[in-house]
Amino acid sequence: MTTITTTNPVRSDVVEEQAPARTRQSRLWAVIGIGAALAGVGTIITSSAVSAVYDPSLTTPEQIMAKLETQAGWMFALHSVTVVGALLMLVFGAGLHRRLRAALPADSSLPLLAFAGMLGTAVVSILGSGLDTEFMLALAAGDGTVEASSAIMYNHWIGTIPWLWTLAGVTGVSVFLAARARAVPRWLGIVGLVMGGLTLLAGISPFEYMAGPVAVLWLLVTAVGFTAGDKAFRNA
């Protein structure tokens, strides 16, 4: 009697799945946030340097115009650093959205609010630099093609609009609410409440330009915190 032995696996069409490899959480978005904050500092410095309209010793439009022609270099720097800062802000906002979404319930609106605050601030920054080419080239040339009254208005524009970081306060408060849900470190939530809240209050008040310095400081501290102090999430 001959015995025939065959091998027949239960399911030959099934490939065994392997557990997905663990991925390391990237901090690049937070590092980019530090760059956005430093660019914000640059915006404040360069905007403040174009100060002809705020100089009490200049009493006529012609004197202000002459002074602005000597400050055109600062206008070029203001334009570049403000636009770069706005672009970096978008990347930070997108990274923060992903970071909060990973730690909060799926139906939470906080990640979207956090991103919206950064997006809105970036848009305001772009608008704040929107008149630069129209004026800085003519002022640098000193060819008299710009009316003194228009140049004065431009100086007021860049002395106010790029400072309106009011919507960044929404992001700060969103981080605070996320910290209450234990989605981010508690101390980052406190920073978001204090500085984000002050940013919103400044924006609501007639001194809205003061939102800029407070929000820039909030962004710097928060970006550094997520870069160096968010170890519990990265190791989870």
Interatomic CA distance for residues 230 and 215, integer angstroms: 21
pTM as predicted:
0.86
Alpha-carbon span 145 to 138, nearest angstrom: 7
How buried is 223 (Cβ within 10 angstroms: 0-12 exposed, 13-18 middle, 19+ buried)? buried
Q: Where are the beta strands (DSSP E) in 111-175?
A: none
Q: For tokens 């672009």, what's the residue?
A: 87
Note whether 50 and 67 are within 8 A (CB): no
Give the separation between CA 21 and CA 5, rounded to whole angstroms: 39
Structure tokens at 32: 């980019």
Q: What's at 192, amino acid-wise? A: G
User: pLDDT truncated to tens, each residue of the chain (236 aa)?
Assistant: 455 555 555 555 544 444 444 455 688 999 999 999 999 999 999 999 999 999 999 989 999 999 999 999 999 999 999 999 999 999 999 999 999 999 999 999 999 999 999 999 999 999 999 999 889 999 998 887 889 999 999 999 999 999 999 999 999 999 999 999 999 999 999 999 999 999 999 999 999 999 999 999 999 999 999 999 877 776 76
CB count within 10 Å of CB 161 equals 20
Where along the chain do its domains lie?
28-228
- Structural tokens at position 95: 């990274």
**Helix, strand or coil, per DSSP, at residue 161:** helix
